[in-house]
A and B are shown apart, each in its own frame.
Chain A
Amino acid sequence: MNTRWWFLLPARVWTALFLLAPLGIVGAYSVLTRGDYGGVEAPWTMESYTRLIDPLYLAILWRSVWMATLSTVLCALLGFPLALFIARAGRRKNLWLQLVLLPFWTSFLVRTYAWLFILRDTGLVNTVLQRLHVIRTPLPLLYNDGAVLLGLVYSFLPFFVLPVYAALERLDGSLAEAAADLGARPLSTLRRVILPLSAPGIAAGCVLVFIPCLGSYLTPDLLGGGKTVMVGNLIQNQFTTARDWPFGSATSLVLMLVSALALLMMMRSPATKEML
């Protein structure tokens, strides 16, 4: 055995134990029959998959893709200027980066709960607006799709900012100067020089936001008030109240397939090819 083989061994064992084996279990569960009190039983069946081809579940899947796409677009619109600003912040760079990362010091659950206190009828926003006599009755800020989107964008924005920042940071500043010297206005420098060169970072950011958004269940549950289902909630339900592990497993695998397809599409795009 050569050294290379030995050095790769831990990674291979890790992948086999913690990626392939669990995936195999999920795959096997998805083609078994539901046990009455959770778990799975014989015989083998494809029923869980045929059940998924149902307008009800397809609509939920579609809804999740749509929400994840919207969140990704919003993260890009907010995250790109922010990343550009930080990349050009000079000595303050690290401070701004720390601020972007600051929310990670607190648990995701606590941060999502905090939004409840900001958005609810007697919460921060409504109280301030009412005190300032901007509104008379509280705005319905909580328990709707807007709140879910806000929660998703808030949670995943750093995942967009960091790779884009990394791409912009590496970018040679003299290129932008050269564009300016050659008569490009700032906006066309951005469009024709900076954006194309940071495309790999943007693509990576999109993937990092889109995929966790697609599978999220806590945010739609807490901020959506359980009135909307995303595919993550559907899966969670199968393993809890519905006690239908095969159907939950099948749905999880389909979700993974959709994520993998999205990833493949991103990787196929010419912009990301050079990054890889």
Chain B
Amino acid sequence: MKRRAFLAGGATALLGCGRDKRPRLNVYNWSSYIDPAMVERFEREQGVRVRYGTYEGNEEMLAKVVTGNSGWDVVFPTHSRLAPMARHNLLAPLDARRLPSLGNLDARFRRPVWDADLRWGVPYMWNATGIVYNRQQTAVPTGWDALWSAGLKGRMTMLDDPEDVIGVCLQKLGFPFDSVEERQLQAAKREAVRQKQLLRAYINAEVRDQLVAGDVLAAQLWSTTAAQAMRAAPQLAFAYPREGYPLYCDCAAVLRESKRYELAHEFLDFLLRPEVAAANARVADTATANGAARRLLPADAVLYPPDEIYARGVWPPALPSAAQRYRDRLWTEIKAA
């Protein structure tokens, strides 16, 4: 009985695919970065179908869309990838007239440094890299040097990400996060190698459980993941280092290969609606770039730092190819040290 029902269901689904003449929008987004109910709502409102796919990293997405016939319409690159993607003719310039809800964006994102006219992407969600720490067992960290404390040997972690680790070493030394100067980068590498002896591991989101359990007392971590950990464990807190810190923003962009330019804009404008953006921020558990949506969400000083702290943040740009390669070599040296 069950098997027959399953077969019947499968057959209807197959037939349904063939018969469905509704236009289809192909959306490729980071995993758990949208409220599925909102996708369904868009389908109902527009009378369209959405094929929704997910990825885990910019490189994964880029590898697919770089061919120019990936079949996706809307993607969500991090801010630093917008300019290179546009230079590579991968993105379609946005038409602001088709995006009447752009005014809902938070003032910080209406004229962002990486794309002042919002020509290539609509800011969607953002976060920062800072220090999450255990209030009961460590002093309040003010700067990145807290992650070099000998007293916390073996109880600290850094992100497993060359850009964040090398960038933070540069900032600790007073150099710019996105430096391309060899002398500065070499000094940063030495800092990283020195720090490695004190570190427990280079890990990303997995550190959350170990922070909650108390295995790790201080970690370089994204504000969004930190906020999630803090909700599970009140002894945790988050600090934005005084030397500055990197900020990242994922933006909704339309691919040049897209044959549904107008529908893609409808979708981008739909995402800008306050209640939709708020629902997505709630599900993704991150900071929305939508100011109108933020008023519908609970206040959170970790996800949304006040202006004086926000001013210290930097938006890392894409690195030139040679610098990128040099950094990768340094990263391998750090890891092999």
Contacts and interface: CB of A to CB of B under 8 A. Distances in A.
Given A60-B336, A243-B324, A226 B201 contact: yes
A228 interface: yes
B139 interface: no
B335 A227 contact: yes
Q: Which of B161, B199, B201, B324 counts the most chain A CB atoms within 10 A?
A: B201
A240 B59 contact: yes
A221 B204 CA distance: 11
- What are the 6 A-B residue pairs with the smallest beta carbon separation, nearest first? A225-B201, A226-B202, A242-B328, A121-B215, A226-B160, A229-B335
Nearest to B201: A225
B200 A34 contact: no
Interface of B: 57, 59-60, 62-63, 66, 81, 84-85, 88, 154, 157, 160-163, 196, 199-203, 206, 210, 213-215, 321, 324-325, 328-329, 331-333, 335-336
Nearest to B66: A39
A34 B325 contact: yes
B203 A226 contact: yes
Give the most central of A34, A121, A222, A234: most B CB within 10 Å: A121
A15 interface: no
B328 A241 contact: yes
12 contacts: A36-B321, A37-B62, A38-B59, A121-B210, A121-B213, A122-B215, A221-B160, A225-B203, A226-B203, A227-B201, A233-B335, A241-B328
A10 B218 CA distance: 57
Interface string A223-254: 01111110001100111111110000000000
Contacts of B85: 37
Nearest to B84: A37
A143 interface: yes
Nearest to B154: A140
Contacts of B332: 56-57, 60, 229, 234, 237
A56 B201 contact: no
Contacts of B321: 34, 36
Contacts of B333: 56
Interface in A128-150: 140, 142-143
Nearest to A225: B201
Given A140-B154, A226-B202, A227-B202, A38 B66 contact: yes
Given A122-B215, A140-B154, A39 B336 contact: no
Nearest to A39: B66
A178 interface: no
A126 to B, nearest CB: 9
Contacts of A142: 201
Interface string A27-62: 000000011111100000000000000001101100
Nearest to B196: A227
Interface of A: 34-39, 56-57, 59-60, 63, 116, 120-122, 140, 142-143, 221-222, 224-229, 233-234, 237-244
A227 B199 contact: yes
A56 B328 CA distance: 12
Given A36-B84, A60-B336, A244 B215 contact: no
Nearest to A241: B162
Given A56-B333, A225-B200, A237-B331, 13 more contacts: A37-B84, A37-B88, A38-B59, A38-B63, A56-B332, A140-B154, A142-B201, A225-B157, A225-B203, A233-B335, A237-B328, A239-B59, A244-B328
Contacts of A240: 57, 59-60
Contact of A228 (B62, B81, B335): B335
Nearest to A57: B332
Given A59-B336, A228-B335, A120 B210 contact: yes
B59 A56 contact: no
A224 B157 CA distance: 13
A138 to B, nearest CB: 8
Contacts of B63: 38-39
Contacts of A228: 335
Contact of B66 (A37, A56, A63): A37
Best-surrounded residue of A34, A140, A229 (most CB of chain B within 10 A): A229
Contacts of A59: 336
B23 to A, nearest CB: 30
B159 to A, nearest CB: 9
A140 B213 CA distance: 15
Contacts of B331: 237, 241-242
A27 to B, nearest CB: 19
Contact of A225 (B62, B84, B202): B202
Contacts of B206: 116, 222
A159 to B, nearest CB: 27
A111 to B, nearest CB: 15
B214 A122 contact: yes
A242 B328 CA distance: 6
A198 to B, nearest CB: 39
A233 B324 CA distance: 18
Contacts of B84: 36-37
Best-surrounded residue of A34, A39, A226 (most CB of chain B within 10 A): A226
Given A36-B84, A122-B215, A56 B161 contact: no
B336 A56 contact: yes
B31 to A, nearest CB: 15
Given A59-B336, A60-B336, A241 B59 contact: yes
